Structure 1
């Protein structure tokens, strides 16, 4: 049985695409006869507070579904202060170094990036130990930060860019979640071995059931996920034309309070906030709706939201509002519609042209069939395993 270690900054019971993606990778490798161990911080995302069962602990090790999970200390925070966020990353990097010094490390290690500094710590320390390093790149940081407006092109940016390039250089194999990520890496390192590893989900497909009618004739549109700056859900609430739709929101994040306040201040608008539910419950809840919306406030090079593949698997028609490669996937496989990134007039025009009758069971079955053919988690992982 081959041993493999996965190092990540997000893992269940934390919520979100990042933790789900790494969990499915770990579980999939275990099912393919790998002895899997995971190193991750004590769970704290997205609240920035260590979850109650883990508080007061410097480290926690457990066996979960046949995998060994090592949870290490981190200075947890959701502060927007760059110095405090840097301190949080340094704290986890320090915990990793201490772990590396006193524990045996498998010869094959998968490292999640970003965060860049955490990936740099792993790549630098473990490369010197002659481990096979596989860098799993989910976002092109710092470029994504620049496009989101979180970073400026200054000295700090150039330092982060240098760290990014060193991480690529040290990795033996780089996994990228989009073609744009792999193109970016190949420009920098033409001979680097890469592999397209999409964020395909792996869960049982629920049976399709007709949406529940609450406002006859209106399309019941749902957003489910992080309520962060990148998603721009508050702006979406403000800009939508509600003549033909109602909007339902699930999730949590930095904009949550502002969204709740906006809904309270505008009771005339058909917007409902339903809080946060588990992923398993969410898959059932989504079936009540006609249409899922996948927005990005700005087009982010390299980003392909995992919601595309998750919604496709359950057969939920989708409206993509983020541009780039994600838009190409939605239109290529005919699993929904796309509006021009950042253009709310085009978004409303697209919605006004949609007919509730077109979001029927036949179209949902088409979406599920397309997902089965083109977004196969197990087929993708079987191909990856041959490279490990």
Structure 2
């Protein structure tokens, strides 16, 4: 097939699914073209070595990549965030007519939802079908954000986005969702159930894998939990700090990464005098497997919002791919998967006392039981979430649409 891929984000940005998919599809004999932006995510600053030009073409692993200009921003301003999304919608639409006109089918990495502007134009002008890969549910992920407008303006934004997303689901020939409850939610909102297939996301398997070498994280002789990832408004990192402070006699919490809520989390740790909480800042991607190996449990948290009940956070796949047990404070499918597979412990979200209880319970587990959880974690990842399984399913959907 001649396959187009549209994604606002693409390596060297830390968004691997579109790149993994493009590489694997090309290796299977398909002709693959990727339409994306100049790299600036997640810091909102253009990556070193890049300059924004209208026509930037690269070739990677048999894949042709066309980059278009966009407004670079990823800060706490809702207006600038909207400008970032809408600018890519405009420039990708302008470039798609020529760059992807010969495609048999287009795969759309649907986050943000504005990415669908170019595929919609291709369908209108050339009749090219598309398969959308829904990573987060709109408008919920916008309206629940602290960056969203409130009051009358907020309601107008919600109505507009609801109508636009409904149109996306109608126009798409296939819809990939990342969790069973997400499928149910989309069907409830009018999406055709015959179009939808659940495909669990995979991890970046070049980075997340079992290793014997462990990073120095200042480990002490106690159970160590690690939170690794973005510290934004949805991750509820403050509750993790509160929980860790309550179990300072038996456990440590190590936080790797950064985000707009990091300063607030640091203040909470200082106010609680939580000397068992350590912030390591951002670390190179190549160090992540060794960092994961240095902790006993990976901590996965999200706020208790309806849109997250149908979400499997990418941190879960990364942890399981490393053979790491997990402690999850996430609503819905994620907690159910963890408990059913026996790969860790779960508790209700936004309840730091319940999280503290689970931390204490985890700290008491014998080493042999933690090791067995780790073995099941890797087995679960390889059987249900691997790159090969995901690409097989998406390739099948692309072929059906084409």
Q: Bigger CA drift: 243-252 or 186-195?
A: 186-195
**CA shift at 1:74, angstroms?**
0.6
The answer to whether the 8 Å contact 2:341/2:376 transfers is no
Q: 1:279 to 1:221 in 2, by over 3 A?
A: same
Task: Specify the alignment match of 2:178 in structure 1.
Answer: 177
Q: How many residues align?
A: 382
Q: Which residue of 2 aligns with 1:274?
A: 280
Match of 2:290 in 1: 284
Choose from 244, 250, 253 the match for 2:256. Answer: 250
Rate the CA distance shift 1:326–1:363 in 2: closer, same or farther, 3 A.
Answer: closer
The one-character-per-residue Cα deviations of 1:288-312 (angstroms, maximum 9, x if unpaired) are 1111100112332322102212211
Q: Which residue of 2 aligns with 1:9?
A: 8
Q: Hey, what does 1:374 align to over in structure 2?
A: 384
Name the SS for the 2:328 alignment partner: strand
Mapping of residues 129-278 of structure 1, within 5 Å = 129-148=126-145, 151=148, 154-187=155-188, 188-190=190-192, 192-201=194-203, 203=205, 205-208=209-212, 214-216=219-221, 218-240=222-244, 241=246, 242-260=248-266, 269-278=275-284
Higher mean alpha-carbon deviation, 310-319 vs 76-85, is at 76-85
Distance 1:45 1:202 in 2: 17
Alignment partners' CA distance in 2, 1:92 and 1:276 = 27
The CA deviation string for residues 266-287 of structure 1, in whole angstroms up to 9 with x for no partner, is 7651222222223332012210
SS of the aligned residue for 2:16 comes to helix
The answer (yes or no) to whether the contact 1:46–1:253 under 8 Å persists in 2 is: no
Q: 1:25 aligns with which of 10, 21, 38?
A: 21
Question: How far is 1:320 from its partner?
Answer: 0.4
1:173 positional shift: 0.7
1:46-61 to structure 2, matched below 5 A, reads 46-61=42-57
Q: Deviations over 1:148-198 (max 9, x none)?
A: 555456121011000000000110111111112222222303354122121
Q: CA deviation at 1:351?
A: 1.2
RMSD over equivalenced CA pairs, Å: 2.4
More contact order relative to length (CA 8 Å, sep ≥ 6): 2
Q: What SS does the aligned partner of 2:72 have?
A: coil
User: Could you tell me the TM-score, scaled by structure 2's length?
Assistant: 0.87
Is the CA contact 1:210–1:361 (under 8 Å) kept in the aligned structure 2?
Answer: no
Moved over 6 A (4+): 209-213, 264-267
Return 5+ residue gaps in structure 2 as ranges: none
Question: Which of 98, 118, 122 is the aligned partner of 1:122?
Answer: 118
Match of 1:90 among 86, 104, 107: 86
User: Does the 8 A contact of 2:106 with 2:131 survive in 1?
Assistant: yes
Q: Give runs of aligned pairs for residues 294-313 of structure 1, distance below 5 A.
A: 294-299=300-305, 300-313=308-321
Q: Distance in 2 between matches of 1:97 and 1:66?
A: 24
Whether 1:43 aligns to 2:39 is yes
Q: C-alpha displacement at 1:263, in angstroms?
A: 5.3
Contact 1:231 1:296 in 2 (8 A): yes
Q: Which runs of 5+ in 1 are unaligned?
A: none
Aligned equivalent of 2:324, options 292, 316, 338: 316
Distance of 1:347 and 1:328 partners within structure 2: 16
CA contact under 8 A between 1:250 and 1:276: conserved in structure 2? yes
Of 354, 362, 373, the match for 1:363: 373
Deviation at 1:368, TM superposition (A): 1.6
TM-score by structure 1 length? Answer: 0.90
Q: Is the 1:251–1:277 Cα contact (8 Å) retained in structure 2?
A: yes
Are the aligned partners of 2:236 and 2:350 in contact in 1 as well (CA < 8 Å)? no
Change (3 A) 1:92 1:312: same
d(CA) in 1 for partners of 2:21, 2:100:
22
Q: How far is 1:363 from its partner?
A: 3.1
Report whether the alignment pairs 1:108 with 2:109: no
For 1:353, which of 347, 361, 374 is the aligned residue? 361
